Amino acid sequence: AMQDALRGQGGGALSGVVRVVPMQRINAVLVVSSQRSAIEQARRVFALVERSRRQTVRSWSVYFLQNSRSNDIAYVLQQAFTPRNVTSQPTPAGATGPGRTTRQLSGGNQGGIGGGTGGGGLGGSGGTGSGGAGSGGIGGVNLGSPPGLGSAAPGQGAALTTLSEQPQGGASGQSANPLLGGLDPTSGGGDSNPDTMRIVPNPQNNALLVYATPQERDAVEATLRRLDILPLQVRIDAVIAEVTLNDNLRFGTQFFFRSGEFNNLLTTVAGGALAGAFPGFVFAGRGLNGAPVAITALQAVTEVRVLSSPQLMVLDNEPARLQVGSLVPYLTQSAQSTLTAGAPIVSSVSYRETGVIMEVTPRVNSGGLVTLDIAQEVSDVDPTQTTVGINSPTFSQRVVRSRVAVQDGQTIGLAGLIRDNTSRGNQGIPYLRNIPLLGALLGNQNNTRQRTELLVLITPRVIHDQRDARALTEDLRNGVFNAALVPQQLNSLSPTGLADPQARIRRRLGLER
């Protein structure tokens, strides 16, 4: 490059004056000339060539994320900067929780590890499983190629049906990830140019590896500053209660709160803050004590049974799940062999989650409005009903799913799920209690009916900084009786788990001091 640049300087006058000798062993350039001015001009040309080269040469940079997951940020950056080579997938919400489905990593044309219609596997083989009209071949990955050029080799499997027009084996492709083989979510291959921009996540260190030019790197850094921000936290205060409906509440809790003095204390949210259709009614408390005031008001006129009163701390736009209950087994199917006499009956048993189950996902906007995706379920085994012909329990459940929007610190109430419990009892002298008219004198008949309503009160509180978190912690500590004395009491307790448990006995007997 320097020779071409010097040859063009002064109409080629320097071509015979300056000699450029490359020195590959030390990665340098030797300029030989008898004129000092030519040497100075060659130095200026070298600076210009080197500056231009640095602007176009790509290099690796490592960015350690502070607040976000590397897979999530890498997926967004790849969609923005390298849309033809997206190798990352965002982390599913709540994927680490129990009972969640695991994320599957696949590559090729609807293929992946162990199967596909002509798709190369991800760091392995395309497999022989059927993925459509035909079966994918046994593809391999060439790990000996240069970084990022590991292409899936053509497989050796044959199609299982003549309906398949897909090529046998894995489709060739080149991945932008130097650690993986060919991967492209649409065509089975990545970008074929090895010197293109690449963004690789490193989940172990929560970092990003970026292979880009300085100009591209500046754009990535500017985007990272906008994406990798500290998320807000939301504390969810919830009260799940079961209210017994009597004569004062024969129309439900909705009419109770909308009548009398409670109409001014608890009012419906206006101004379009609520979204979606709600079962029952929705109200918002104007203070930070909306839920306690509502429960206290109901306890004055009826019986209120609080099923659960959780307090959850969750990040913005992240799901929180609370479950208090048990797993109840139930029979799903039974089978018995008809070929062997006296064959045992094989039963299949599944488990169902019962109790109080609540899932909440908060989203906070810049104005302080909190949008809540709420899924509330209260389920139990119904002791009065059994499945006909099957020794399996019957479940009763009350479920409410909704999306609401409320201001920070206000209380949202979901209600209207009313359940009727009717029971009949007949006690007395056997056989005689069933005689018409006469049985009423010789027995005791009880017919009861109880109506209950499920009431869910949720109060979100947004935590913007450590000061808000410290204030909420102090509120929790003040709510616990004598919580400030707990550290002092722990220090006054005698130590346990001594290396010599009998030393204390010997000291009491005077055998040891």
The region of weakest confidence among 14-28, 103-117, 274-288 is 103-117
User: Rounded mean pLDDT of 486-500?
Assistant: 53
What's the rounded Cα separation, in Å, for the pair 403 and 481? 36
* The pLDDT of residue 150: 38
Q: Which of 109-123, 218-232, 499-513 has the highest mean pLDDT?
A: 218-232
Rounded Cα–Cα distance for residues 317 and 313 (Å)? 12
Q: Are 93 and 318 in contact (CB under 8 A)?
A: yes
Output 204 or 513, whichever has higher pLDDT: 204
pLDDT(207) > 90: yes
Q: What is the pLDDT of residues 303-318, one digit of tens each?
A: 899 988 888 889 998 9
Q: Is the pTM of this model over 0.85?
A: no
What is the rounded CA–CA span in Å between residue 14 and residue 38?
7
pLDDT at 201: 93
| pLDDT attached to residue 35 | 78
CA angle at residue 124 from 120 to 129, to 5 degrees?
A: 60
Mean pLDDT along residues 351-370: 90
Structure tokens at 239: 């009260």
CA–CA separation, 215 vs 237, rounded Å?
48
Q: How many residues does the chain have?
A: 513
Query: Could you tell me which residue, 35 or 214, shows the higher pLDDT?
Result: 214
Burial of 201 (C-beta count, 10 Å sphere; 0-12/13-18/19+): buried
Provide CB contacts within 8 A for 166, sequence distance 6+. Answer: 109, 117, 118, 132, 133, 134, 136, 159
pLDDT category of residue 289 using cuts at 50, 70 and 90:
low
For 315-338, the pLDDT digits (tens) are 998 999 988 888 988 888 888 888
Give the C-alpha separation, 412 to 372, whole Å: 10
Question: 468: Cβ–Cβ under 8 A, 6 or more apart, which residues?
Answer: 462
pLDDT for residue 380: 86
> Are the C-beta atoms of residues 77 and 88 closer than 8 Å to each other?
no
What is the model's pLDDT at position 165?
A: 37
DSSP 335: E
| pLDDT level of residue 15 (50, 70, 90 thresholds) | low
- pLDDT at residue 210, as a whole number: 93
pLDDT tens string 233-248: 999 989 989 898 888 7
How confident is the model at residue 330, as a pLDDT? 86
The pLDDT confidence band at residue 430, using thresholds 50, 70 and 90, is confident
d(CA 307, CA 235): 19
For the chain, the helix, strand and coil percentages under 3-state DSSP, each to the nearest 5 = 20, 35, 45
| pLDDT digit string, tens, across residues 438-471 | 666 666 766 777 888 888 888 898 988 888 888 8
The answer to whether the beta carbons of residues 125 and 193 sit under 8 Å apart is no
Q: At residue 340, does pLDDT exceed 50?
A: yes
pLDDT band at residue 513 under the 50/70/90 scheme: low
pLDDT digits (tens, 9 = 90+) for 370-415: 999 999 888 888 775 555 556 678 888 888 888 988 888 888 888 7
Three-class HEC string of 391-410:
CCEEEEEEEEEEEEEEECCC
Return d(Cα 289, Cα 305) in angstroms, integer.
19
Please, which residues have CB within 8 angstroms of residue 259's CB and are 6 or more apart in sequence? none
Burial class (CB in 10 A: 0-12, 13-18, 19+), 446: exposed
Are 186 and 110 in contact, with CB atoms under 8 Å apart?
no
* Cα distance between the two ends of the chain: 90
- Across the range 191-217, mean pLDDT stands at 86
| Cβ pair 350, 386 in contact under 8 A | no
Q: Give the pLDDT confidence score for residue 277 in this predicted structure.
A: 38
Q: How far apart are CA 3 and CA 12, in angstroms?
A: 10
Residue with tokens 């001009």: 41
pLDDT at 37: 79
Q: What is the CA radius of gyration of the chain?
A: 36
CA distance 244 to 132: 56
Q: In this structure, are residues 108 and 118 in contact, taking their beta carbons and an 8 Å threshold? A: yes
What is the token pair recorded at 206?
A: 């929560």
| Mean pLDDT, the chain, whole residue set | 69
Q: Which residue has the higher pLDDT, 374 or 136?
A: 374
Tell me the sheet residues that pair with 377.
Answer: 357, 399
Q: Are 238 and 456 in contact (CB under 8 A)?
A: yes
Give me the DSSP letters along 191-253.
-S-TTS-EEEEETTTTEEEEEE-HHHHHHHHHHHHHHS-PPPEEEEEEEEEEEEE-STTTT-H
Q: Check whether 116 has a pLDDT greater than 50.
A: no
